[in-house]
Structure 1
Amino acid sequence: MGEALNDLSGRTIFVAGAGGFLGSRICLAAARAGARVAALSRSGRARGLAGAAGIEIVRGDLLDPPSIAASIGPGVDVVNAAYDFLADDDDQRAAFDNLLSAAQSAKARSFVQISSIAVYDEWPTGALNEDSPCDGPGNSYKALKREFELKLADAAAPHTILQPTIVYGTGGWQWTDRLIEELEAGRVVLPDDPRGLCHAVHVDDVAAAVLCALVAERRASRCIISGPAPVEWGALYAGYAEMIGAAPPEFQPFGAPETAPLGVAAPPSPLAMKAKRALRRMIGERGLATIRKSVTAIKRGGGEIIARPEGAMLELMRARGSCSIARAKAEIDFTPAIDLAEGLTRIRATRRS
């Protein structure tokens, strides 16, 4: 179902994580569909939404229950796109619990949770659908996302859980900005044994899936969200390289696969995370990006920079698993509309504007 067919006129959508890469796109898509959007922001990250028709920026913090309860009333739809990679697990858990509690207390109309394909035990190597095993060991991100899914399943509130794959697009650091930074800095070498599949889904398609979920109003649904078809990782890198005038990625055999299971690498130290959180509060996300680029420039001055995936990233970029979006098509009428060529065109247009 296209975004134009998702009429949300007369509805109020409360979006947590509105200042983020995905949350901001959800706000804009919902407003275009006629909804009144309450965009929760604890800092200035949502300022880009200021002035957009139908969007009200609400100052609050998921760790401060009264600040969110005031904006969630009976009949409001709640969309949770919040996840702070720099927060510790206890804060992540408290933030989710506070939001779910506020939604239940207010008798919200529905709750849409942005989860992840990473909850599945066999991601990225298996053939996945929503019945695949997902309660095995993994990193903090996998464990927390799965914990939140289980809490929603036990809750009385009507809900839909969306599990996006590799979400890319303008403003997405993990799968767009970071890859472009690698290409700008020097050579990128990818595995050739084999060349892995990237289950890329454009951020605007994920936002459209949220609208589909809101319109479908399922009592309880859990849907994998991916793009029209997987592409090789080399194609994604090559598209970015062409966009910025950089050399395309090279391919080399990387040898035997790592024996460690995906997603169990040691997390950054608590001290390092605390320092990065403090730095973000002082200079913001753009400031952090500027620092990264400055460090890259310094490294480049010392010689050639070669970016090569390792550990869990190497396993991801050589995996050729699959995932089905049949349930999303059947239960919420979602069909992805943006293939890689169109996705790159949208990124190119916004980089020039």
Structure 2
Amino acid sequence: MNKKTIFITGGAGYVGEMLGEQFSKRSDVERVIVLDKEGRPKSFDGNNKIVWISANTSDGTWQSRVASYNPDVVIHTAWQIREMYGKKKLQWKWNVEGSDDVFNFAFSTPSVKKLIYFSTVSSYGASQSNTFEHYFKEEEPFIEDMYLYGIEKKEVEERLRNKYEMSKEKAPQIFIVRPAAITGPRGRFMRIRFGLQSALSGQLKESIIHRVISFMVSYVPATKGWVRQFIHEDDVADIVGLFAFNDLEGEYEVFNISPPGEPVYSKDMARAVGKKVLMVYPWIIRIVFFFFWHLTRGRVPTSKGGWKFYSYPILVDGNRITKRYNFNYSCNSKDAFYSTKGRYEKYVPEKSRR
């Protein structure tokens, strides 16, 4: 058996750690090289297949060491998602220039045959003209011009495409995924982060600010345009595994990854967390976001443009991967959001399972 060596950036993050843990258990994997600027997760303790590298993708210290292992597949998940208050230039260096470094490594290292990059649906743009009826497809342009996360991801996709067009003859096979909101028992119960689900469900207890926010959302505040799509973490891992471990057609493939079926509307969200919906106007959301962003100096992730994503819909068509590679999602958005089923259900307290 020809065993693979996988290189994952962002290995301390939600997705990167999950992929590292699961792929290292495969019999056809020799080793998993995991890089992150944050500390090594405890889940990797005692795992002899994991090679941990403490580095930032943009610091230029990791390339020779990773190359010495001759990686077959590069999976780029590393990203500073939440905007750092007053540090846009540093964040650009980490995210955009760091991505350039990862892509340059993948293109210039002979052993690398595949590059898998995590993009986002946010770059399509949360616009007042968006509707519940329109589902964005992969060929539609990115128009986001206010929310830094969407802007940076748009820039990086453009750079990757340009690099591929100029170097097709030496480019690895490229797969880009634009996921809906990723969730599941691992994300909701093993990695409680500040976010919509944790705030509404009362899981934020780290600080006074978090307790205040949990109190403020005793109702589910929502605009008429509020809607979310979710994809189960198991589906994300399976999609990346499909790309990494199978011989597939295609040279440069882009996929929205979001299951078919109805998305999660505000009434569904409220029902799931046992609360009532409080309808509000977008201008109210905008003011609240502005206030918390500056009052907390970015500790509450309500940066410029973020209010639009709580006010206007972005829905995507995730069927291309089914048509192209016959991939079938394990559950729809509502089940991904609400159910605790999945590979990590054993970590969910029994009273919370559903």
TM above 0.5, yes or no, is yes
1:77 aligned to 61, 73, 76, which one? 73
Distance verdict in 2 for CA 1:47–1:348, change over 3 Å: closer
Aligned-pair CA distance for 1:79: 0.4
Distance verdict in 2 for CA 1:252–1:213, change over 3 Å: same
Structure 1, unaligned runs of 5 or more: 1-7, 242-247, 277-291, 293-308
1:99 equivalent in structure 2: 102
Aligned-pair CA distance for 1:144: 0.8
Secondary structure of the 2:46 match is: coil
The question of 1:334 aligning with 2:338 is answered no
The aligned runs of 1:130-279 (5 Å cut-off) are: 130-155=138-163, 156=167, 157=171, 158-169=173-184, 170=187, 171=191, 173=193, 174-181=195-202, 185-186=214-215, 187-191=217-221, 194=224, 196-214=226-244, 215=246, 216=248, 218-229=250-261, 230-239=263-272, 241=273, 248-255=274-281, 257-258=282-283, 272=297
1:26 equivalent in structure 2: 19
1:350 equivalent in structure 2: 347
CA RMSD of aligned residues (A): 3.6
- Of 87-96 and 139-148, more deviation after overlay is shown by 87-96
The question of 1:50 aligning with 2:50 is answered no
Aligned-pair CA distance for 1:314: 6.2
Aligned-pair CA distance for 1:218: 3.4
Distance verdict in 2 for CA 1:137–1:267, change over 3 Å: farther
Secondary structure of the 2:202 match is: helix
TM value normalised by structure 1: 0.72
- Aligned pair count? 302
The question of 1:128 aligning with 2:136 is answered yes
Greater helix fraction, Structure 1 or Structure 2: 1
TM value normalised by structure 2: 0.72
What percentage of residue pairs aligned between the two structures are identical? 17
The question of 1:119 aligning with 2:117 is answered no
Aligned-pair CA distance for 1:44: 1.6
Q: Aligned partners of 1:69, 1:166: CA distance in 2, in Å?
A: 34
Secondary structure of the 1:144 match is: helix
Structure 2, unaligned runs of 5 or more: 85-89, 206-213
Secondary structure of the 1:127 match is: coil
Q: Aligned partners of 2:227, 2:157: CA distance in 1, in Å?
A: 26
Q: Aligned partners of 2:222, 2:292: CA distance in 1, in Å?
A: 28
Aligned-pair CA distance for 1:19: 0.6
